[in-house]
Structure formats: structure tokens, C-alpha cells
């Protein structure tokens, strides 16, 4: 940015930010993601820092929230302003904030309180003489909207405070929608043929701005309190953590993950832990809020024009961004299933640059009504496959037409695609389809199957194009000379791939069974069949009834296995694997007592005497199940270090026994719970 262009860019940024403030705060219809909005604000702040003469009194960098309020709700003037927070996007910015705090306090050391940054709506609740009288949104920090009737429907909030309440008590916090409520809401609106909500934050905002409080009540909103506003006749506090204890004593929900820490190193650890475990919770978070704990130190540090100097938000990498949908294409899987996917303008989201995202199936494309040329919301959480959430309709180009699912397979054979009535998937039913062939080989070599390092998509396509492989068994006939004839292969890389292929012959039976690619037969059912029958030959020789009696298999998978092996080409494929020397199993069949027959035992956290896989195998050896989530049917939850917070919370709410490692070993032997469920081994914080 040149000095000459700075004024024009500053004006443009202010207009953009004000426009998006209106969409976000007043309309609950954002057109860009939080990350894109933050980028605009940061650019304007940097520009104003470099050119102070460009700063205006009404600049968004000097304001809190949005000035425009909905005409549907009466205005409420906050007696104590509701400020915003400055953001830090990485450790260096967090360190810089810590240095500013240290300079502001001189020789005094600061202690901190770390809180999860809830992705919801800031709210101020007012109680007079112990009774709930008003709820107001943040608005522009000085004036918010009166949403009392709607907030009164939130069951987590006390309508009358406990004995000893101040004459006036204003409580600040966040209204949010739990993930289970969000999923249920989207199921309801889909059933009515209405568009899905993009995320829990937007759903919560829309729920609070309903004119009919009964609709708000159906949305099952909740609340976390985290700050005091005006207090008249209350106790004197010296620290923030004391105020949180007071709020809990008064009956307000206070997040259980809040921590007092004494130095920035521990702050970093807390941020890193929750960035990794953010999806273990039953609600959305997008960062961590760090506050100076000592209230007198806060007074000394003071405020900027829009935010306290004694607090900062550490923002996690964005998991939602907006970008351009260039095209919609379809891919063909190993079973012929065709999956539409979005070709995107590259965008950084969820820790990586995304250029493609799944659209699931024809019905999902129709329900979301995404079209080439749309600006769309893209979601990616960690290692989860990127997904297009939906379009931003206000930005749709004129003349846009709904996307139509292709009639023909995109492979060179151009076979007509078929959708069986009653099924969601459209399939290519041509066995000779080269796309299906390649995907079967890729799946066979994948990490969850035969785990052949070096045999990825690019190499499979090369082998297929060269006519060297027709089915996965052909990889065991490859020679060094054939590989050296392919682009990118030298002697070392060829020998390494051949060694990996040879080593895969000794994979355990469950991996081989999974690798066959039988429709519906995944790792869990493959493991159960392997334990019961002991070899691939025994499994393929069994009839449907025998297969279906295997725990976790059932008649659908059993029928799929029998149908698969009845096809001549699949029989020849199995024979080729046998001739190549692939180990067909003879896995050791467990002879331990079935002490956990039919019982579900969930394992969470790190055990000292078992790996996660060993603990789950021990449960399955004894006839039990080890699912990944807690339900009312869960028999017990085994807890190690750093357990999933959502699993513990759900187990507690359902009354499911929580066991430590010693009690777990007793359970394996006897199948019985201890008379009184022992406390689990002390896990690390979180």
C-alpha cells in the first residue's frame, strides 16, 4: 500500500466493515466468515497505525459491535458499557500483549484467568432484588436490544437468585446453542423443506431475535456467565476468579474449564490444549479469552477506546471461510458411487488450503441449493473432510441456474448413471469403469486397509494408465523393471515400494478383510468377523445366517459379503491374492471368558497400562463393544489422562459409572462394576 493509496483503501475498508456489521449484528445474515471479517479489521488497524492522520472518530476500530439495532426490539442503555476484546492470532501476538501488561504494571506480577471463548452472543442480564428483570444484547457497547422475553425461556438461567443477592446485579455472559440442539434444529428445518442453519452461532442469534418467545424456547439455548456488570449492594471483590465463584453461588452457569494460571507459559499451554481438543466439547468455541485476575491491576491497566487492556482473545485458526464456488463435478468411488464435489477458489481454512470440498450426494446439493458462481461458506475442522455449508444468497449472480446431476459417468466409457429408487446415491454400474478400478486399488492400499506406503493416488493412476494393474491383486506381480519405466521412479524408490508391497502380505486378517472393499464392511465388522471365524476362507465359506450372528455384523452386511463372493471376478481376485502369498489369517481366536458380553464400555484419555487399541481389544475379546461415544446404553466409561470433556460430561449427566484403570482391570476379569465407582486416576487439566 503506497501512501497515496492509503486514504482510499481506509475508506473502502470502513465501508466494507460497516456493511458486514449490519449483516452480522442487525440481520443475523453474515456474508463473510469471522476470519474474513477479522482480516478486514486487522488491515484497517494496521493502516491507521501507519497513518494516524487517517483515523476518524467513527472508525470501526474505535467502535464496539454494530451501531444499527433491530427495530423489532426496544433499545437498552448499558449502565456499564459492554466492551469488545482485542484479538491475538498467534503466540507472538499473545506474548506482545503480555509484555504490554507487564510494562503497564511495572514491578507487580500479573496472574491470569483463562476462559474458553464461546462462539455465541454476548448478553447482559439484569437482576433487581434477586429477580430477573431484563436481558439486553451488546449492540454498540453502549446501547443494546431488549430481548428479555426470549432470554427468559433459557432454562439454564435462574429466574430468582439465591439468598444474599445484591440489590442490583448485572451478569455478562454468552448465549449459545449446544451442538445437540443445533443438530436437532437442522433436522427439523430440513424436514420442513427449509434451509439449514450454517452454524450454532447463527442459529442462536436467529433464535434470540424471534418475535415469538415460544419459538426461542424450542431452540434449547443455554448460557455461560463470565463477567459482572453493574453491582449495587454486593460484596467487595479483589479478583476475577472470586467474581466467578460468586456467580456460581448465585446459581449462574460458570464454565467448568476456566483456569487460574500464574504465567504466560501456562497460558500458552492452555490455549494449545484447547485448540487441539476444541471438538471434545458439546458446544462451539473459537478461541481462549485471557484476563488479568487482580481487579486492582485491571484498574491500573484501563481501557482503549473499544477494549480493555487487561484482557485479550486468542483466536484459533478459522474453521469456516467464504470463497467462490467455481464448479461442481462428480467423482466415482470403488463401488461405483458417484459423489458431487465443489471446485473452489483456494481458501485457507481449518489449518490448510482447501480447493475442493464434498457435497455428499444429489439430494444434499438440491437441499443446499449451491450453484457454480456462488459465494459459499466452507467448513473444515482439523482433519475432517472440507464441506460446503451453503451459499450466501445475497451474493448470488443474476441468472444463476440450479445445478443438475450428470446423466453419464465422467469416465471414458460414458456409462449411464443409475439411481435406485429409495437410495440416496447415484451409481455407475459398469464393472469395467476405470475410475472404479483405480479407486478399489487406492482403497486396498490405504492406511486403514493394507497400509502400503508409497502406493498413493498418483502411483496407482500411473500403474493403471500403463496397463500394469487391473485389480488390487496385480500389485503383488509388479517388478522393479516395470516401476523403473514409470515417471518419477528410480531404483531406490522402486525397491522401497516393492518392499512395502511385500510387507503388506503379513497384515492382520481384519485389515485384509476391510481391504477387499465389500460394500458396508468396515474395520469394526471386519474385526468382529476375524475374531469369530479366524481366517478369510472360513468367512467366505460361511452362509448368511452364520455371518449375521456375529456381533456388530447383522443381516445387511452378511448378505453383502455373500453377494460379493458369489461374483466370479471377485472369486478370481481372492485366488490371485492367495497365489501371491497374502496371509489369509488364522488369527488367534479369543478364549477368555465373555465377561462383557453385550456391554458397551467407552475408553477416553490415555491409560498407563494399555494403549487405546489394546484397551478396546480387551473389551472386544470379552464380548463387549467399545464405541466412540457415550449413550444411555453405555455400561461404563474408562478414564485416563486428558479425557474428552464431552464424554465425561455426558457420562455424568446420564449417570454412567466412571472408572479408573484399576477398576477397568477388575471389570475385565469379573464383568462387574465396583460397589462404589472409584475416582478415575487424576488426569491432566482439561
We report the CATH number of the domain holding residue 548 as: 1.10.150.20
**387 is a domain residue:** yes
Q: Can you give the pLDDT at residue 70?
A: 60
Is residue 246 domain-shared with residue 277, that is, in the same domain? yes
Same domain, 185 and 331: no
Gyration radius of the chain over CA positions: 29
- Rounded Cα gap, residues 468 and 314, in angstroms: 53
Same domain for 264 and 136: yes
CATH of the domain at 420: 2.40.50.140
* Domain match, 56 and 136 both: no
In a domain, 686, yes or no: no
C-alpha distances out from residue 15 to 1, 20, 35, 46, Å: 18, 9, 18, 16
CA distances 669 to 160, 181, 339, 591, 596, Å, are: 50, 39, 47, 13, 9
Q: Is residue 70 part of a domain?
A: no
Residues of the chain with pLDDT under 70: 1-3, 25-28, 64-71, 382-383, 586-591, 645, 676-686
Q: Tell me if 339 is assigned to some domain.
A: yes
**Cell numbers of 140, please?**
454498540
Enclosing H/E stretch for 417: strand 417-419
Same domain, 297 and 184: yes
Please give the span between the terminal C-alpha atoms of the chain, in angstroms, as a whole number.
44
Buried b (16+ CB within 10 A) or exposed e, 43-72: bbeebbeeeeebeeeebbbebbbbbebbee
Residue corresponding to grid cell 454468552: 174
Assess whether 266 and 131 both reside in one domain: yes
Instruction: List active site positions.
Output: 117
CA-CA-CA-CA torsion sign (600, 605, 606, 612):
positive
Nearest Cα to Cα of residue 134 among 145, 118, 142 = 145
Last residue of a domain, which of 25, 40, 62? Answer: 62
Residues 415 and 488 in one domain: no
Q: How far is CA 105 from CA 94, 432, 465, in A?
A: 17, 74, 69
What CATH number does residue 662 fall under? 3.40.50.10190
Long-range contacts for 412-419 (Cβ within 8 Å, ≥24 apart)? 417/338, 419/362
Report the predicted TM-score, pTM, of the whole model to 2 decimal places: 0.60
Cβ(351)–Cβ(319) under 8 Å?
no
pLDDT attached to residue 647: 82
Residue 378, H or E segment? strand 375-379
Interaxial angle between packed helices 568-579 and 554-565, expressed in degrees from 0 to 180 and rounded to the nearest 10: 80
Q: Which residues constitute the domain of residue 48? A: 6-62
The predicted structure's pLDDT at residue 55:
86
Residue 588 lies in a domain: no
Residue 400 near residue 373 (C-beta atoms within 8 A): yes
Q: Which residues of 251-281 are buried (b: 16+ CB within 10 A; e: fewer)?
A: ebbbbebbbebeebeebbbbbebbbebbebb
Residue 438 within any structural domain of the chain: yes
* 608 occurs within a structural domain: yes
User: Could you say which of 249, 284, 315 is where a domain stops?
Assistant: 315
The verdict on 488 and 537 lying in the same domain is yes
How many separate domains does the chain show?
A: 5
Distance (Å, rounded) from C-alpha 318 to C-alpha 349?
6
Indicate whether 390 and 472 sit together in one domain. Answer: no
144 and 229 share one domain: yes
Give the residue from 571, 586, 530 showing the smallest Cα distance to 553. 530
- The residue out of 247, 280, 315 marking a domain boundary is 315
Phi–psi pair at 330, nearest 5 degrees = -125, 145
683 lies in a domain?
no
* 187 & 310 share domain: yes
Tell me how far apart the alpha carbons of residues 454 and 444 are, in angstroms, rounded to a whole number: 13
Whether 101 and 110 have beta carbons less than 8 Å apart is answered as yes
- The half-sphere exposure of 299 on its side-chain side, counting CA atoms within 13 A, is 6
Task: List, in order, residues 6 or more apart from 24 with CB less than 8 Å away.
Answer: 30, 37, 66
Q: What is the CATH number of the domain that holds 113?
A: 3.30.470.30
Q: Do 200 and 84 share a structural domain?
A: yes
State residue 679's pLDDT score. 43
Q: Residue 432: its pLDDT value, please?
A: 86
**574-602 residue pLDDT tens:** 999 999 999 998 665 566 788 998 899 99
CATH code, domain carrying 50: 1.10.287.610
Q: How far apart are CA 580 and CA 520, in angstroms?
A: 26
Amino acid at each position: 500500500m503506497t501512501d497515496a493509496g492509503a486514504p482510499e483503501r481506509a475508506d473502502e475498508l470502513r465501508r466494507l466493515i460497516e456493511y458486514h456489521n449490519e449483516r452480522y449484528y442487525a440481520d443475523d445474515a453474515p456474508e463473510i466468515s469471522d476470519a474474513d471479517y477479522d482480516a478486514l479489521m486487522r488491515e484497517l488497524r494496521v493502516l491507521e497505525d501507519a497513518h494516524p492522520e487517517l483515523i476518524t472518530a467513527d472508525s470501526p476500530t474505535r467502535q464496539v459491535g454494530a451501531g444499527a439495532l433491530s427495530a423489532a426490539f426496544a433499545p437498552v442503555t448499558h449502565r456499564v458499557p459492554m466492551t469488545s476484546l482485542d484479538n491475538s492470532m498467534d503466540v507472538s501476538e499473545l506474548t506482545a500483549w503480555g509484555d504490554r501488561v507487564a510494562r503497564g504494571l511495572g514491578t507487580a506480577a500479573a496472574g491470569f484467568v483463562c476462559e474458553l471463548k464461546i462462539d455465541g452472543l454476548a448478553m447482559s442480564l439484569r437482576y433487581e432484588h434477586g429477580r430477573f428483570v431484563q436481558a439486553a444484547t451488546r449492540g454498540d457497547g453502549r446501547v443494546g436490544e431488549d430481548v428479555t422475553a426470549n432470554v427468559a425461556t433459557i432454562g439454564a438461567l435462574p429466574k430468582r437468585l439465591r439468598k444474599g443477592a445484591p440489590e442490583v446485579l448485572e451478569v455478562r455472559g454468552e448465549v449459545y446453542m449446544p451442538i445437540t440442539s443445533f443438530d436437532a434444529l437442522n433436522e427439523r428445518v430440513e424436514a420442513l423443506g427449509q434451509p439449514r442453519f450454517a452454524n450454532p452461532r447463527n442459529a442462536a442469534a436467529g433464535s434470540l431475535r424471534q418475535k415469538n418467545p415460544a419459538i426461542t424456547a424450542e431452540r434449547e439455548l443455554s448460557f455461560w456467565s463470565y463477567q459482572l456488570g453493574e453491582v449495587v449492594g454486593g460484596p467487595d471483590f479483589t479478583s476475577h476468579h472470586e467474581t466467578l465463584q460468586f456467580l456460581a453461588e448465585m446459581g449462574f452457569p460458570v464454565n467448568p474449564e476456566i483456569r487460574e494460571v500464574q504465567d504466560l507459559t501456562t497460558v500458552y499451554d492452555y490455549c494449545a490444549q484447547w485448540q487441539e481438543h476444541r471438538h471434545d466439547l458439546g458446544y462451539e468455541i473459537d478461541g481462549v479469552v485471557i484476563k488479568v485476575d487482580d481487579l486492582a491491576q485491571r484498574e491500573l491497566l484501563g481501557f482503549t477506546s473499544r477494549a480493555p487492556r487487561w484482557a485479550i482473545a486468542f483466536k484459533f485458526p478459522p474453521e469456516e471461510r467464504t470463497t467462490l464456488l467455481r464448479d461442481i463435478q462428480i467423482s466415482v468411488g470403488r463401488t461405483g458411487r458417484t459423489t458431487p464435489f465443489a471446485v473452489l477458489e483456494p481458501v485457507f481454512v481449518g489449518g490448510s488450503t482447501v480447493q475442493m470440498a464434498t457435497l455428499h450426494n444429489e439430494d444434499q446439493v438440491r437441499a443446499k441449493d449451491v450453484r457454480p458462481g456462488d459465494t459459499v461458506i466452507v467448513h473444515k475442522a482439523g482433519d475432517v473432510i472440507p464441506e460446503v455449508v451453503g451459499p450466501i444468497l445475497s451474493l448470488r449472480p443474476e441468472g444463476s441456474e440450479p445445478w443438475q446431476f450428470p446423466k453419464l459417468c465422467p469416465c471414458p466409457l460414458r456409462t449411464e448413471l443409475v439411481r435406485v429408487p429409495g437410495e440416496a446415491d447415484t451409481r455407475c454400474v459398469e464393472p469395467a469403469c476405470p475410475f472404479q478400478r483405480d479407486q478399489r486399488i487406492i482403497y486396498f492400499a490405504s492406511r486403514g486397509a493394507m497400509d502400503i506406503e508409497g502406493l498413493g493416488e498418483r502411483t496407482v493412476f500411473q500403474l493403471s494408465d500403463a496397463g500394469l494393474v487391473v485389480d488390487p491383486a496385480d500389485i503383488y506381480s509388479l517388478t522393479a523393471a516395470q516401476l523403473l519405466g514409470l515417471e518419477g521412479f528410480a531404483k531406490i524408490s522402486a525397491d522401497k515400494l516393492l518392499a512395502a508391497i511385500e510387507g503388506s502380505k503379513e497384515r492382520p486378517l481384519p485389515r485384509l478383510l476391510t481391504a477387499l472393499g465389500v460394500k458396508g464392511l468396515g474395520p469394526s465388522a471386519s474385526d468382529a468377523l476375524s475374531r469369530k471365524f479366524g481366517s478369510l476362507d472360513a468367512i467366505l465359506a460361511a452362509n448368511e445366517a452364520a455371518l449375521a450372528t456375529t456381533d456388530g455384523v447383522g443381516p445387511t452386511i452378511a448378505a453383502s459379503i455373500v453377494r460379493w463372493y458369489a461374483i466370479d471376478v471377485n472369486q478370481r481376485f481372492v485366488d490371485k491374492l492367495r497365489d501371491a502369498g497374502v496371509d489369509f489369517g488364522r488369527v488367534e481366536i479369543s478364549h477368555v471368558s465373555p465377561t462383557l458380553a453385550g456391554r458397551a464400555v467407552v475408553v477416553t484419555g490415555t491409560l498407563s497400562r494399555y494403549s487405546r487399541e489394546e484397551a478396546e481389544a480387551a473389551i472386544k475379546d470379552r464380548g463387549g463393544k467399545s464405541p466412540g461415544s457415550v449413550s444411555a446404553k453405555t455400561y461404563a466409561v474408562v478414564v485416563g489422562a486428558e479425557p474428552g470433556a464431552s464424554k465425561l460430561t455426558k457420562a455424568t449427566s446420564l449417570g454412567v459409572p466412571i472408572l479408573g484403570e484399576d477398576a477397568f482391570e477388575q471389570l475385565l476379569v469379573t464383568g462387574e462394576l465396583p460397589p462404589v465407582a472409584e475416582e478415575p486416576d487424576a488426569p491432566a487439566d482439561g
